[in-house]
């Protein structure tokens, strides 16, 4: 994209390119200047050539990786950006740049007038800034190039203020609304809203990845009246705030959100069971279902009854009884089922395994779930299966290896062999698997070479291994990591030293991030010289809750020269750190 031909996207494009090379040089003073003029073209059409000249120069340096020239001219570029920006502002606002008191002191204002005059000028600057914020959000929200992006933005206002939302979960939400067809479309909507600053990242410190976000407060303030006025026309989303059915009858196949603490779903309250394509529990803790209400929902595609991830683990969800699960038998269209955090579910009825279209089954934190039957093999279209935090599960059933469409498998448990469980070796057939988390339970029996079979998972990008046992013998097992692995997370590792399979010459070439949480690890020293030319990709290390570990930033940099981001927390023998180490 040419900077000159599309000024509206000039700065977002530069910021995106800048983020890819931030680890190569210290450009912290350049990025704020770009952010400061991010939306100036939305309001001002004149005097832009001078600013575009500077932006085009920066763009040329970034595209050509000319870091030397960029660093040489960095101070001059920042000065030119500030000067050009002031020229683009209205005369009154540009008269006294924010924070520039020297301009006031050098003027001809008399001493007794200074305080009043400065206050008037700064008030005009502040008023203009507020107007600018309002106008740029209006422009952004009205200029979203597809209706489903605007609907996606406004649908976020249905969540409580200051809610922190995961990207993955909001894409599921949008899919349930029927405005996007798949995860790729959802990713495009998310990126567009993020670039327009309509949603803002929620970082844990300086984390470079945006996996969580919040709605920009200005968006909520200025667009909430539109949502309240045109809610029905824009969405077909309703909540159990009213029990009147008058506004439901003319809308078929909409999405129902449940936001009261106690909800009863039945036709007598106007929630016609055949009206809904998606049901989302946003805030309900107690759920009741009318007789056969669920069985009548012939067009249901998304059923999210569990808690949303922004709620803590203490957010308790109860259902009156589990009979509604048996009524799912006839659901031919259901693609997504979440029972996350619902108590008292000890087993799944056969009806669940007759959902031939099911793609996502979320059972995370179903703490009373004890077993899964071998019938799970019948869910041939399943793409995501989350069994994490199901603490009573002590084995995986035979049949999981037949779910060849799986992309995500979380909470795979290795338990006792006496119950004929599925093993890691059985997963070698899951060639499309991209994310996998494994829990080694108490009394786990690990066969020789079992973890070496992980190398067969050629599509695997994210791997987490957690140890629920502290026996040192569980640290000596041999592991061969998949060749395309990008992120590795070890939790509760019982060994004191870096295992052989975690030394640099055994790491996958594409590994970018290593997380180690909890356990008995004492040293990160792998005893080898890290070949930066051969292993250039390990960029991020996170070390948390390691009370025995002794490590310092200088040592990490020596052991892993390609590092540029480190996160050390709750490691008593080492200073806390989060951020770049360049």
Give 28-68 pLDDT, tens digit per residue.
677 777 766 665 555 555 556 677 778 878 877 777 667 77
- Mean of pLDDT values over 337-360: 89
pLDDT band (50, 70, 90) for residue 427: very high
| Residue partners of 79: CB distance under 8 A and separation at least 6 | none
Give 91-110 pLDDT, tens digit per residue.
444 443 333 433 333 333 33
Kindly tell me if the per-residue pLDDT of 443 is higher than 50.
Answer: yes
Q: Which of 315, 319, 243, 236 is nearest to 278 (CA)?
A: 236
Least trusted range by pLDDT, from 240-254, 288-302, 410-424: 240-254
| Residue partners of 562: CB distance under 8 A and separation at least 6 | 530, 532, 535, 536, 537, 538, 539
The predicted pLDDT at position 570 comes to 92
Least trusted range by pLDDT, from 189-193, 351-355, 359-363, 389-393: 189-193
Indicate the angle between helix axes 111-143 and 217-234, nearest 10 degrees. 30
The predicted pLDDT at position 115 comes to 43
Q: Which residue has the higher pLDDT, 246 or 368?
A: 368
Indicate the angle between helix axes 49-63 and 10-21, nearest 10 degrees. 30
Structure-block tokens of residue 183: 């995860």
> At the top level of CATH, which class does the domain 144-235 belong to?
mainly alpha
Q: Which of 507, 520, 510, 519 is nearest to 559 (CA)?
A: 507
- Mean of pLDDT values over 273-295: 78
Q: Give the SS3 label for residue 440.
A: strand
Q: Which residue has the higher pLDDT, 157 or 407?
A: 407
The predicted pLDDT at position 431 comes to 93
C-alpha angle with apex 544: 540 to 548, nearest 5 degrees?
Answer: 120
Structure-block tokens of residue 378: 């019948």
The predicted pLDDT at position 145 comes to 52
Alpha helix segments (H runs only) across 390-439: none
Structure-block tokens of residue 543: 């070390």
Kindly tell me if the per-residue pLDDT of 313 is higher than 90.
Answer: no
- Mean of pLDDT values over 485-508: 90
Residue-range domain boundaries for the chain: 144-235, 486-582
C-alpha torsion angle, residues 174, 180, 186, 189 (rounded to 10):
-90
Structure-block tokens of residue 123: 């008030």
Side-chain half-sphere of 566: how many Cα atoms within 13 Å? 21
Q: Which whole-number Å values give the CA distances from 32 to 15, 47, 91, 389, 579, in the listed order?
A: 10, 22, 23, 41, 17
- Mean of pLDDT values over 203-228: 71
pLDDT band (50, 70, 90) for residue 270: low
Kindly tell me if the per-residue pLDDT of 272 is higher than 90.
Answer: no
Kindly tell me if the per-residue pLDDT of 3 is higher than 50.
Answer: yes
β partners of residue 106: none
The predicted pLDDT at position 119 comes to 47
The predicted pLDDT at position 155 comes to 76
Q: What is the percent of the chain with per-residue pLDDT over 70, rounded to a whole number?
A: 68
Residue 204 DSSP symbol: S
pTM over 0.75: no
Q: Which residue has the higher pLDDT, 88 or 394?
A: 394
β partners of residue 336: 302, 360
Q: Which residue has the higher pLDDT, 345 or 272?
A: 345
Kindly tell me if the per-residue pLDDT of 496 is higher than 70.
Answer: yes
- Mean of pLDDT values over 208-235: 67
Give 445-461 pLDDT, tens digit per residue.
888 888 999 999 999 99
- Mean of pLDDT values over 81-90: 68
Q: Which residue has the higher pLDDT, 381 or 128?
A: 381
Kindly tell me if the per-residue pLDDT of 121 is higher than 60.
Answer: no
C-alpha torsion angle, residues 444, 425, 382, 481 (rounded to 10):
90
pLDDT band (50, 70, 90) for residue 417: low
Whose structure tokens read 């045109």? 230
Other Cβ atoms less than 10 A from the Cβ of 174: the count is 21
281, 309 contact by CB (below 8 A): no
pLDDT band (50, 70, 90) for residue 363: very high
Q: Which whole-number Å values give the CA distances from 448 to 427, 451, 479, in the listed order?
A: 15, 8, 10
Q: Give the SS3 label for residue 528.
A: coil
Kindly tell me if the per-residue pLDDT of 467 is higher than 90.
Answer: yes
Kindly tell me if the per-residue pLDDT of 117 is higher than 60.
Answer: no
Q: What is the percent of the chain with per-residue pLDDT over 90, rounded to a whole number?
A: 19
β partners of residue 83: none
Structure-block tokens of residue 435: 């994310």
Give 513-572 pLDDT, tens digit per residue.
999 999 999 988 877 665 556 555 788 999 999 999 998 888 888 788 888 889 999 999
Structure-block tokens of residue 285: 């803790």
| Residue partners of 554: CB distance under 8 A and separation at least 6 | none
């Amino acid at each position: 994209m040419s900077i000159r031909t599309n000024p509206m996207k000039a700065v977002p494009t530069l910021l995106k390119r800048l983020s890819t090379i931030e680890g190569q040089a210290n450009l912290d003073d350049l990025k704020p200047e770009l952010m400061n003029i991010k939306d100036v073209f939305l309001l001002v059409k004149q005097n832009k050539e001078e600013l575009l000249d500077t932006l085009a120069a920066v763009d040329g340096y970034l595209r050509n990786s000319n870091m030397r020239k960029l660093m040489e001219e960095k101070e001059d570029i920042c000065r030119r950006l500030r000067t050009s920006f002031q020229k683009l502002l209205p005369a009154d606002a540009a008269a006294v740049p924010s924070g520039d008191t020297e301009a006031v002191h050098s003027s001809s204002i008399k001493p007794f007038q200074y305080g009043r005059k400065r206050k008037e000028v700064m008030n005009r600057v502040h008023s203009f800034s507020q107007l600018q914020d309002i106008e740029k959000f209006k422009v952004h929200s009205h200029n979203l190039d597809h209706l489903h992006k605007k609907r996606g933005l406004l649908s976020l206002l249905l969540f409580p203020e200051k809610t922190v939302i995961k990207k993955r979960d909001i894409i599921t939400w949008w899919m349930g609304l029927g405005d996007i067809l798949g995860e790729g479309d959802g990713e495009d909507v998310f990126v567009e809203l993020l670039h327009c600053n309509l949603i803002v990242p929620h970082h844990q410190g300086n984390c470079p990845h945006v996996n969580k976000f919040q709605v920009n407060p200005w968006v909520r303030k200025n667009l909430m009246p539109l949502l309240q006025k045109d809610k029905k026309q824009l969405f077909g989303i309703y909540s159990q705030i009213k029990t009147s059915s008058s506004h439901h009858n003319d809308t078929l196949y909409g999405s129902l959100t449940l936001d009261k603490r106690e909800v009863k779903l039945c036709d007598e309250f106007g929630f016609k069971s055949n009206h809904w394509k998606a049901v989302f529990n946003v805030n309900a803790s107690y759920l009741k279902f009318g007789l056969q209400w669920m069985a009548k929902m012939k067009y249901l595609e998304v059923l999210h009854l569990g808690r949303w991830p922004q709620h803590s683990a203490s957010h308790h969800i109860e259902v009156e009884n589990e009979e509604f699960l048996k009524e799912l038998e006839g659901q031919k269209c259901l693609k997504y089922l979440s029972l996350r955090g619902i108590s008292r579910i000890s087993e799944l009825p056969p009806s669940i395994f007759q959902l031939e279209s099911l793609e996502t089954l979320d059972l995370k934190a179903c703490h009373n779930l004890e077993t899964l039957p071998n019938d799970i093999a019948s869910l041939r279209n399943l793409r995501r299966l989350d069994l994490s935090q199901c603490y009573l599960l002590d084995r995986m059933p035979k049949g999981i290896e037949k779910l060849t469409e799986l992309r995500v498998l979380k909470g795979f448990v290795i338990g006792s062999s006496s119950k004929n469980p599925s093993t890691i070796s059985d997963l070698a057939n899951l060639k499309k698997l991209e994310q996998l988390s494994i829990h080694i339970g108490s009394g786990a029996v690990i066969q020789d070479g079992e973890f070496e079979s992980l190398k067969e998972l050629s599509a695997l990008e994210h791997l987490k291994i957690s140890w629920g046992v502290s026996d040192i013998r569980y640290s000596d097992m041999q592991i061969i990591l998949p060749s395309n692995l990008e992120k590795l997370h070890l939790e509760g590792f019982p060994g004191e030293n870096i295992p052989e399979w975690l030394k640099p010459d055994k790491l996958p070439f594409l590994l970018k991030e290593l997380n180690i949480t909890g356990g008995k690890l004492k040293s990160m020293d792998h005893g080898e010289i890290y070949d930066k030319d051969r292993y250039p990709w390990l960029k991020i290390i996170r070390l948390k809750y390691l009370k025995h570990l002794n490590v310092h930033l200088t040592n990490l940099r020596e052991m892993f020269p390609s590092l540029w981001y480190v996160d050390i927390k709750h490691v008593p023998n080492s200073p806390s750190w989060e951020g770049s180490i360049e």
